[in-house]
Amino acid sequence: MEINNISINSNKSEQSRKVYVLTSTQEQTSNLSTLWESFISKFKSDDIVEPKVLEPQDTIKTQLCKCKKGKSKNYCDNIYEILQMTKNNNSNDKRSKELYQNLLKINDNSLDINGENIRQIRKDTTRTYPATITFHQKDKILKKLENVLRAFSNYDNTIKYCQGMNFIVGFFLYHCEEHIAFWLFVSLIEEYDLRSLFMENFPGLKIHIKRLEYILKNEYPSYWENFETIGVKVEIFMVEWLFSLFSSLIPLELQMDFYKGFFSHGWIFFYKMCISCILNLKGEFSEADEIYIALKNGKNEDDKEEEGKNVWKKIIQRAYSINIKADVMSINK
């Protein structure tokens, strides 16, 4: 069977297909917890990295991006554009910077009795963008990443730090100074409702899964039918896309166009990006796992690194041209 770029090999027996099914609410929460564990397992390691002492006043300029920088010494012009789309567009003023530094001065132990939150942050900073050499050559970037994640953990003591946040904050730090990165991340949490992704029982995750399923069923039925045929479940491939906003997958230097779209159009653009990734599928698939791998990589396994980057460029560019009806946003349960 072939629909557009996907060819489904339907000769496999029903018993040999790996099918993922969610039924009751309790089972769904349990399965989502399993998917979350699967996502964060990629960051687990026994390697212990001795943390450096972090100073709130450490503001050495270590921006890595090659974007134009004419608006401010604290961020590139692309970040300036994004700031204009948020309520925190004054995050570069003195008061905002002082608020951020005050958060760093809070005794972490008073909010994190067992110290597990801080230990996890310190582990994950060294695992952020592992394939981006320049990100790790600049030691100050890793220190700033830990600073921002600690500050946010003190700012929002309900959700604190969750894995996936490190990639999003890492993207900001690639383009701006740490106090700007902090307030941009706060904007995502508060203005764009990333909070619901990281809350207990993952209410946001459930909603976004239902919305993408709705889009596939109603606007891309051929893909939905193919997924149904071999037991592909949206939640399996969507978890990493959501918790890192694609940042753990898209090469760091290519993410700006995605984030501009997200800050400008919100979750509608995220769903466009999901559809663009699905439309990029090509080849013959006989098992659900084969499609999960293809969707995670965004490219074929035999593609060279530069070819893979070009694929991600095309996926992001195509996302801007995809039309999705706004009524999908009415799905809130």
CATH number at residue 268: 1.10.472.80
What would the pLDDT profile of 244-266 be if each residue is shown by its tens digit?
Answer: 999 999 999 999 999 999 999 99
Residues 79 and 172: their CA atoms lie apart, in Å, by: 8
Please say which residue of 175, 197, 219 terminates a domain: 197
Same domain, 170 and 145: yes
Same domain, 265 and 181: no
Structural tokens at position 332: 């809130």
32 in any annotated domain:
no
61 in any annotated domain:
no
Structural tokens at position 27: 């089972």
What would the pLDDT profile of 88-122 be if each residue is shown by its tens digit?
Answer: 777 667 889 999 999 998 876 655 655 788 889 99
On average, the pLDDT of the chain sits at: 81
Q: Give the mean pLDDT of 10-35.
A: 43
Residues 230 and 54: their CA atoms lie apart, in Å, by: 50
What would the pLDDT profile of 165-187 be if each residue is shown by its tens digit?
Answer: 999 999 999 999 999 999 999 99
Same domain, 282 and 305: yes
Question: Model's pTM, two decimal places?
Answer: 0.82
3-state secondary structure of 309: helix
pLDDT of residue 88: 75
- Angstrom distances, CA of residue 272 to CA of 26, 54, 104, 225, 269: 30, 39, 37, 19, 5
Closest of 52, 244, 256, 41 to residue 142, by C-alpha: 52
CATH number at residue 139: 1.10.8.270
Amino acid of residue 279:
L
Residues forming a β-bridge with 284: 7
Same domain, 96 and 192: yes
Please say which residue of 140, 170, 197 terminates a domain: 197
312 in any annotated domain:
yes
Q: Chain centroid to CA 39: how far?
A: 11
Structural tokens at position 192: 């764009």
pLDDT of residue 44: 54
Residues 298 and 303: their CA atoms lie apart, in Å, by: 10
Please say which residue of 156, 182, 197 terminates a domain: 197
Same domain, 206 and 165: no
Q: Where in the sequence is the domain holding 306, given as residue range(s)?
A: 2-11+201-330
51 in any annotated domain:
no
Sheet holding 283-285, edge to edge: 2-3, 6-8, 283-285
